[in-house]
Structure 1
Amino acid sequence: MQIRQGTIADLDDLVLLFDRYRTFYGQQPDEDLARSFLLDRLRHLQSIIFIAFFEGQAIGFTQLFPSFSSGRAARTFILNDLYVAPEARGKGVGKALLAAAADYGKAVGAVRLTLSTAHDNGAAQSLYEGTGWIRETTFISYNLPLA
């Protein structure tokens, strides 16, 4: 397995994975939307994407969005997306992608990575907790839908 930072050259592979990720969360398949969204993020340096390959086949990705901690006056990242193709699950791909994200964050001086997952996604919760992520109990999260 190879993990590397994704670029615009990886867009075709990323679009397929990202579209599958979105449909996992109940969105309608839309590769054009996936391509446009990812291309904008990469062109404008608005996200960092790591992509996993096995024998030349893209099998997973994670996407980090830059953020900041006002309290710590430091850089953080939101690990917004993690997806491993069903046929590649249980083989350490998710763990390797999380490690790549953490290594990147440390290398650029970030003080924290943050993520959220669905309450009923026990497999993801086990992965996160098994790789050193700490369940947040201090804060309550809210969302304000704008569209």
Structure 2
Amino acid sequence: MRNMRAGIEHLGILSGVFNQYRIFYGEDNDLVRCREFLRERLEKDESVIFLAVEEGDDALEVLGFTQLYPIFSSVSLKRHWLLNDLFVTEKARRRGIGAGLLNSARQLAEKTGAKGLTLETGHDNENAQKLYEKFGFKKHTEFHYTYKL
């Protein structure tokens, strides 16, 4: 198993696991829209995606991914990364893949001189919360507002 940064050439193998991720969160199965969405992010260089992959006989198998979006802090005058998506396929869970993907995200933040990483997770997603806290993420209680359209 290894982690790698996804490029447009990985669109085929990435789209399937991205679709699984969306289904996990209650969205409709829509591989075509997933592929279009990811293609746009990659072509416009609007996100960074890391894949956890395993070498198969004929191809790479995606075990999980994380997608990060750049945001900026006006106060610190630095880049910040929004860790928007982190997903490990059901069959690959409990193998340290999520931790490996978090390491890739942290390395990206360090390499780009970012202020830090921000993420959100469900209040009931206790397994993810434990992993994030193990990596040094702190619950933000000072600033929390969301406006949904």
Specify the SS of the correspondent of 1:66.
strand
Give, in angstroms, the shift of residue 141 of structure 1: 2.3
RMSD: 0.9
**Pair 1:81 & 2:77 matched:** no
Of 92, 114, 117, 2:118 maps to 114
Corresponding residue SS for 1:3: strand
Note the C-alpha offset of 1:11.
0.6
Q: Deviations over 1:104-126 (max 9, x none)?
A: 11101111110001111111111
CA distance in 1, matches of 2:69, 2:143: 20
CA distance in 2, matches of 1:69, 1:24: 31
Which sections of structure 2, spanning at least 5 residues, go unmatched? none
One-letter code aligned to 2:23: T
Give the SS at the match of 1:41: helix
One-letter code aligned to 1:38:
L
SS in 2 for 1:134: coil
Q: Tell me whether 122-131 or 135-144 shows the greater mean CA deviation.
A: 135-144
Post-superposition CA distance 1:22-64 (Å, at most 9, x none): 0111100100010000000000000000000123311000000
Aligned to 2:2: 2
1:91 & 1:97 partners in 2: Cα distance?
A: 12
Cα deviation, 1:62-90, whole Å, max 9, x if unaligned, reads 00001001121110010000000010111
SS of alignment partner, residue 63 of structure 1: strand
- Under a length normalisation based on structure 2, what TM-score does the superposition of the two structures give? 0.94
1:1-147 equivalences under 5 Å are: 1-55=1-55, 56-145=60-149
TM, length-normalised to structure 1: 0.96
Bigger mean CA offset, 136-145 vs 74-83:
136-145
Unaligned runs of at least 5 residues, structure 1 = none
Q: After the TM superposition, which segments of 4 or more aligned residues of structure 1 sit over 2 Å from their partners? A: none
Letter in 1 for 2:11: L
Moved more, 2-11 or 48-57: 48-57
